[in-house]
Amino acid sequence: MLTDYEEQLWNSMERICGIDEAGRGPLAGPVVAAAVVFPRWFRPGKGILGRMNDSKKLSPSLRREMAPAIQDAALAWSVSVVDAQTIDRINILSATMLAMNRAVGGLGLTPDMLLVDGNRFSPETPVAYRTLVGGDAYIYSIAAASVLAKTARDAIMSSYDREYPEYGFARHAGYPTAMHISAIRQHGRCPIHRFSFKVRRLNEA
């Protein structure tokens, strides 16, 4: 069960927080982080929350259905957005750390432990943490955070698609697909692009 990891920690702790981000790799749009704390000894059951997985392995429609269920079941949750201009100014790694820390700060409570997807974290508060590569595949609270982050970012990119329809942001969410690269070649970059990101297929260093 995906909650096995949390259950080991719940023996001695109460508030376990999963953290994940979406949008480190795209050429456009924000990086979004989410933090989720479930009640102690939470069980997802056999409903939609029992289908939890890494957000990349879930369909967009299932993620959209699952997100409000996560929010309803969580003891606390928070989503943080760091825009492309900030990414350009401080770099993507720093922007990701900023988004994660803002998400934790938005919970309205202090977790006992942070479980962070990936291999890097720079906490702004003195809370114990663990980084776990691929954690969204085997830790429930991280998987839930990945769903909230991905769902929130997809919604943002869909709104940008209406503002800049020539780029197709609703289809590729700003990632460097062939369609996106072709649109940049034809139209240049728009205000939500990350100008600090270089693209070999555009013959940039």
Residue 205 pLDDT class (50, 70, 90 cuts): very low
CB 170 within 8 A of CB 157: yes
Instruction: Give the least confident one: 2-6, 29-33, 172-176.
Output: 2-6
Q: Which band of pLDDT confidence, cut at 50, 70 and 90, is reported for residue 46?
A: confident
Return the half-sphere exposure (C-beta side, CA atoms, 13 A cut-off) of residue 168. 14
59-74 confidence digits (pLDDT tens): 899 999 999 999 999 9
CATH (domain of 171): 3.30.420.10
Query: Which domain does 190 fall in, by range?
Result: 4-202
Q: Which of 8-17, 48-57, 107-116, 145-154 has the lowest mean pLDDT?
A: 48-57
End-to-end CA distance of the chain: 46
Task: Name the domain count of the chain.
Answer: 1
SS3 115: strand
What digits encode the pLDDT tens for the residues 102-129?
999 999 999 999 999 999 999 998 999 9
Residue 132 · residue 146 · CB < 8 Å: no
- Per-chain mean pLDDT for the chain: 94
pLDDT of residue 56: 84
